[in-house]
Amino acid sequence: MQSLRDILARIARGETTPAGALAVSQARIAALEPRIQAFASRPDTLQPGEGPLAGVACGVKDIIDTADLPTMMGSPIYAGWRPRADAPIVMALKAAGATVAGKTHTTAFAFLDPAPTFNPHDPAASPGGSSAGSAAAVAAGMIPLAIGTQTGGSVIRPASYCGVAAIKPSYALLPTVGVKPFSWSLDTLGLMAATADDAGLALAAIAGRPELDAPAASLKGLRIGLHLQDYAGAPEPASATALERFRELATDAGAVLVPHDGPAALAEAFHAHGPLQDYEATQALAWEYAHHREALPPKLQAYLDTAQAVTPAQYDEARRRSRRGRDAARAFFAEVDVVATFAAPGEAPDSRDSTGDSRFNRLWTLLGVPCATVPVARGPRGLPTGVQVITGFGRDEQAIAVAKAIENLVARAG
């Protein structure tokens, strides 16, 4: 993979230039894109910007508005659609000096029908979804940075399946203006990169929050809650193994790991994700459903057919449970510094018909708390599998610092 920090260091040392770094990314895209199918559209040339990320080629999920490239939502309904303005996240990327290397494939409207993208580790496996192109482009080493979005688990899950690092920051830390909504209470932007170190560096520059380029945390004495999310079902062996490997590494490094189930309000909030998303999605996609239902892919079509049944009263109850869950999370994250859990149910599905399952990600998206994933193990089929670390709302710096500590331990353990 391309390391963002290495690229910037080589530019700083005069070993390459921003244009030279972009040319490397462009060449890798040209070589690998026929096999990976990560991009929905790309500019003809990559021009370097000015700023801390000058020379960084970044993929932008194709539900995010761009003024100079189409924004097609993974759907023929938006074939060739050209928004008027760049979304704020794209403006922030450019203001930091990064260059948009292309729009990355998304599942249609960021739901469950697969994107055309291949998992770089196994052409028969799913790259995950919905930010499939973003995860695969970074994993294949085409680009050092990509933007995705998560409503259930659409950043952390494909990152885990493709073996890259990712950060889903606190809700609204990055503005979702100009991002096609699916469920506005849940939709959150996130970053994927080769390492948590790279992701933290990029997030700091994009958000204008230098403290997010945090050094790796010391795990000595850190209180880590092992949270198995029983309400979400059991994991597959690959993810159980990954969490166990994390536990061993963290314990050896001096962390205090405690089983930590969390209050009942968290399980209730987990179950609120469904009606909350259903009700909002039927509204967010009302025009597409009314005018282009037959052009929607089968899973999304069936989902919206069913989701229409959620009533305002059920939605209001889901919002109340969300609020109670967020209140409970404040107490929860006072008891432990960090929560560790599965990043996905297992390694990437062995069929490209499924993008996998977001059940270990949904609660944290709904709570709006920062989540990071780094690869820690290989599953039975040899595919990378991540662990997920989570902190309290607004503690993004700590989530990044702990993820960096873990990836250092994994690298050292070999």
Closest among 48, 55, 59 to 8, alpha carbons compared: 55
* 200 near a copy of itself, judged by CB under 8 A: no
Check: CB of residue 82 under 8 Å from CB of residue 73.
no
* 50 near a copy of itself, judged by CB under 8 A: no
* 185 near a copy of itself, judged by CB under 8 A: yes
Show the site string, 165-184: x = touches a copy of itself by CB under 8 A, - = not. Answer: -------x--xxx---x--x
Question: Could you give the 3-state DSSP secondary structure of residue 125?
Answer: coil
Query: Which phi and psi (to 5°) does residue 335 adopt?
Result: -80, -35
Show the site string, 209-248: x = touches a copy of itself by CB under 8 A, - = not. Answer: x---------------------------------------
The CB-of-38 to a copy of itself minimum distance in angstroms stands at 24
What lies within 8 Å, CB to CB, of 89 at 6+ separation is: 60, 64, 147, 174, 175, 176, 178, 179, 189, 206
The CB-of-166 to a copy of itself minimum distance in angstroms stands at 21
Show the site string, 92-131: x = touches a copy of itself by CB under 8 A, - = not. Answer: x--x------------------------------------
* 287 near a copy of itself, judged by CB under 8 A: yes
* 284 near a copy of itself, judged by CB under 8 A: yes
Selecting among 25, 75, 126, 130, the annotated active-site residue is 130
Is 239 tagged catalytic? no
User: Near a copy of itself by CB under 8 A, which window of 54-62, 130-138, 285-293, 376-384?
Assistant: 285-293
* 290 near a copy of itself, judged by CB under 8 A: yes
Using alpha carbons, list the distances in angstroms from residue 125 to 114, 348, 387. Answer: 11, 6, 19
Please say which residue, 95 or 240, places its beta carbon nearer to a copy of itself.
95
Rounded Cα gap, residues 161 and 128, in angstroms:
6
The CB-of-181 to a copy of itself minimum distance in angstroms stands at 5
Selecting among 134, 154, 160, 358, the annotated active-site residue is 154
Please say which residue, 248 or 316, places its beta carbon nearer to a copy of itself.
316
Burial of residue 349 (CB within 10 Å: 0-12, 13-18, 19+) is: buried
Check: CB of residue 403 under 8 Å from CB of residue 373.
yes
Please say which residue, 26 or 188, places its beta carbon nearer to a copy of itself.
188
Rounded Cα gap, residues 316 and 349, in angstroms:
35
Rounded Cα gap, residues 168 and 110, in angstroms:
16
* 280 near a copy of itself, judged by CB under 8 A: yes
Please say which residue, 284 or 296, places its beta carbon nearer to a copy of itself.
284
Show the site string, 303-322: x = touches a copy of itself by CB under 8 A, - = not. Answer: ---------x---x------
Query: Which phi and psi (to 5°) does residue 86 adopt?
Result: -70, 140
Number of residues that this document lists for the chain: 414
Is 75 tagged catalytic? no
Burial of residue 303 (CB within 10 Å: 0-12, 13-18, 19+) is: buried
Tokens of 99: 């260059």
Check: CB of residue 351 under 8 Å from CB of residue 340.
no
The CB-of-316 to a copy of itself minimum distance in angstroms stands at 7
Is 103 tagged catalytic? no
The CB-of-336 to a copy of itself minimum distance in angstroms stands at 22
* 396 near a copy of itself, judged by CB under 8 A: no
Cα dihedral across residues 58, 39, 343, 381: positive or negative: negative
Please say which residue, 174 or 267, places its beta carbon nearer to a copy of itself.
174
Show the site string, 331-370: x = touches a copy of itself by CB under 8 A, - = not. Answer: ----------------------------------------
Angle ∠(3,8,14) on CA atoms, nearest 5: 125
Burial of residue 127 (CB within 10 Å: 0-12, 13-18, 19+) is: buried
In the 8-state DSSP scheme, what is residue 175? -
* 67 near a copy of itself, judged by CB under 8 A: yes
Contact residues: a copy of itself, CB under 8 A: 67, 77-78, 81, 84-88, 91-92, 95, 172, 175-177, 181, 184-185, 207-209, 280, 283-284, 286-288, 290, 312, 316, 394
* Active centre residues (catalytic): 61, 130, 154
